[in-house]
Amino acid sequence: MQITGLQWGGKLLKRVEFPCAEVLGPEASVDEIKDLIKRKGQVFIKPIFKGGVGKKGKSGLIGKASDIAAALQEKERLYFVKHVIGNGYAKADGVTFEGAVPANHEVYFSISDSTIFRTSTMTITHHGGVDIEELPKDKIKEVPFDPLTGLKSFHIANALEELGAPSEIISPLVQNLPKLWTLYNNYGMNTLELNPIRMSPDKAGRLVPVACDFKGSFDIDDPAWKRLDLPPHLFASDYSEFEQEINQLRTYQGQSDVFVINDKGTITAPTFGGGANALVTELLGERATISSDFGGNPPYGKMLEISKIVFKYWLGQSNVLFIIGGKANNTDIYETFRAMADALRWYFQTYGPKPIFVVVGRGGPNLIRGMSYMKDTVESLGLPYRFFGFDSAMSEVVNYALKTDEWMEREGKKVIKEKMGI
């Protein structure tokens, strides 16, 4: 679950009294926009996307205006704009108008659960406003800290002093940045990023950190996020019936987003794990119907309902059902495979037999038991299959699925139909 931008990010920051740029939503009237321009001198117009969507600035999807005519022109350009990201795309639904924040210094700040340090980690640099990946390591400071004691002022002060940050920005940041740990820790977040934080002078001339963009993701297995009263539709990546249905379920009972890659795709790939999701999505390309991550040890009931929704929408057009993931640490393979196999049987009972080739690649606890259950199910349905264990390279398994899809297009569907008596 991810959100970006200040329309909702600003509401979260206000809970901990962290300053942010003034923002108007898509419902803002002409008079309100004119007033914001008059007071701030300039406004930035940003499209609103579902979920977490980056690289908007580099794609020319952030407009700016110093008069109402230009602001409305940018609103028209960006309101329903499509943003292509790799093999997928996101479609905007509205824009925000953000008041300009004058500043000479920009800061990048984030808190996340680091897989390198195996603990909560602060990342900070006073060279904000750019992609952090482009900065040399000596200009960025990563500071792991104990989540039991939290992010303290001295963590921030020491990091900025070691980076050689200007002295006038250190004190305001030391006073305000610890507030973000309260937001992160109290509401079930696993990533919080502000870039840029602009150091803007107040009426007395003292610098104040002002957040000008927000990115955040939540661990939805942690019920603390529900106290934020965020509407469930925020976490669907589009308005397709499939995404609305499945993400409504996952918003309350699972993790991660599911989104459509190609509604004409021929490989449906329920995927387990973020790394597997990235690799599979990239290699399958336009042949994939959806991108998904069903990791996190989902219980049988939830996995069954999710699988039913996925199969209902996509198996009818698919050549290959491709169940793929890395070697799990804590996901019970038997429970997830049993749920998916039962959902497959339900699909055939509800919609009739379909010529589908099942490819499975997985590792983890109860793997043999899970594969045995899946094998018995697909054999009883008369489907061809190929299973790969944890010792198979994932890229090779993906290539096998691609070759199978090609074979199915050429002759496989006809062969399977004859064998199944369809």
Closest CA to 162 of 125, 129, 216: 125
**In which element (H, E) is residue 110 found?**
strand 106-114
Those residues of the chain that have pLDDT short of 70 are 1, 50-59, 85-90, 220-221, 232-240, 243-244, 247-257, 274
- Tell me the three state secondary structure of residue 90: strand
d(CA 326, CA 94): 38
Residues of the chain with CATH 3.30.1490.20: 22-99
Question: What is the per-residue pLDDT for 341?
Answer: 97
Q: Kindly report the CATH number that applies to the domain delimited by 22-99.
A: 3.30.1490.20
Question: What is the per-residue pLDDT for 247?
Answer: 62
Residues of the chain with CATH 3.30.470.20: 106-224
Question: What is the per-residue pLDDT for 80?
Answer: 86
Number of neighbouring beta carbons within 10 Å of residue 138:
9
d(CA 383, CA 367): 20
Question: What is the per-residue pLDDT for 253?
Answer: 40
Could you tell me the end-to-end alpha-carbon distance of the chain, in angstroms, rounded to an integer? 41
Residues of the chain with CATH 3.40.50.261: 236-420
Fold for the domain defined by 236-420: Rossmann fold (3.40.50)
Question: Which segments within 148-244 are labelled E, that is strand?
Answer: 189-201, 207-211, 215-218
d(CA 49, CA 53): 7
Closest CA to 8 of 253, 211, 176: 211
Whole-angstrom CA distances from 30 to 22, 23, 219 are 16, 14, 38
Q: Are 239 and 93 a contacting pair, CB within 8 Å?
A: yes
Q: Is the pTM of this model over 0.85?
A: no
Question: What is the per-residue pLDDT for 360?
Answer: 96
d(CA 12, CA 4): 11
The pair phi, psi for residue 223, each rounded to 5°, is -70, -5
Tokens for 370, please give them: 């899970």
CA 8 to chain centre: 16
**In which element (H, E) is residue 65 found?**
strand 63-65
> What letter would DSSP give residue 314?
H
Side-chain-facing half-sphere of 350: CA atoms under 13 Å: 13
CATH number of this structure's domain 106-224, picked from the four choices 3.30.470.20, 3.40.50.2000, 3.60.15.10, 2.60.40.10 = 3.30.470.20
